[in-house]
Structure 1
Amino acid sequence: MSFFTFLKDLRTIRIALLVSCLLFVTGGIIGWIGTITLEKLLLQQLEGLSEISKDLKESSNPMWSFFVFIFLNNSIKGVLMIFLGALFGIIPALFLLVNGAVIGYLIHISSIQGLDIFNLVVEGLLPHGIIEIPAIIIACAFGLHFGSKVSSSIFRSSSRLQKRGTEWPVFMRQTLTASIWIVILLFIAAIIESTITFSLLS
């Protein structure tokens, strides 16, 4: 369960990690170039977050309220992406595309409105995003790898299935280790987002 073991496990899913990064970047590009087309869909998501943000700001302790919401929201989703990946990796893939699109949309719409993009990224995204985004990408990569293993188990020959069967206990141990460290990383990111990012944006 050590961090070194977690890093070692990442090497075994390096292809899924690469695919996760590409999906996230693709989502960002789609959000940027399809700002008008995707506006209605993405605004629905952002309006929901805006309402939650407003309620949290009006609480007796906004920073604590933001921390609890951000940590629980991200950590639950992060762990879910690992295990929902068993459904052929579809949900983690969509999650990466949508989240990338939201960021691409926000940056593009901010530039259209004449806002300082450099400050937006440095103050609003980078402090916590440097930990949060890689953690989410890693979680989704494990989900994609999970989906790949399920697909292999269904469609490969019986001899290969027997060999693959011996790998499942190792992979399930990896998902447990990954879940623990992803939650820890998202805990750190939530602290930064609810304090440093919150103060900078305020």
Structure 2
Amino acid sequence: MTRPGFTPSALLTACLMIGAWSPAAKAAPITSTAYYTLTADSALAAPSADIDGPQVVALVSPAGGVVPPTSADGTQGSPLTILSDSRGFDPDQLVVALKDSTNDAGTPEQLLGLVFFGRGLEAGGLLHFALSIDGALADNPPKLTSSTPGVTIAAVPAPGTDPGTDPGTGTGGEPAPNVPEPIGFLLWSAAAGAIALRGRARVRAAAAR
């Protein structure tokens, strides 16, 4: 699923064809939705043109807890939806990636990666988001542990369930129709290459103005 009006570049389209995770014949998993906030102790600058991987990385516990939604045609969409009370960054330029692998001990692990293109994440900024998760974890959502210094990701109640804990400004936190572009479909290595090329393309576009 992409944002209305978003057209992937030829390169990104090719990467999607090569790096998509699940074959179309695989049955769609049962998913649920969990809610989180991301904050930073200080501003995160917009990434440089030579960035080669996610700007923010979080360990997902348990591994495999984040499950991208599957459409009727078998393709996968971004697991992350930005909620409307988010602030301090360009929601149209948030890039999402997932990595399923094993650590040095041979234990399965899953990583969630984010890149704040555009203006980065400003001081006092907030990413309030919904995440597609394994339906078996609906009552005990995955924990997201940031490995990026100064960045905290916390689980929060669903919008409207407890107004006293709404992380926003009282707007209700209803999901905005703003799903990050489908770099989250890709294997981590493919996503890293696409992120780097995207960054260089933005620098060239800015220089041409």
State the TM-score, normalized to the length of structure 1: 0.32
Higher helix share: 1
Please identify the structure whose Cα radius of gyration is greater.
1
State the TM-score, normalized to the length of structure 2: 0.31
Higher strand share: 2
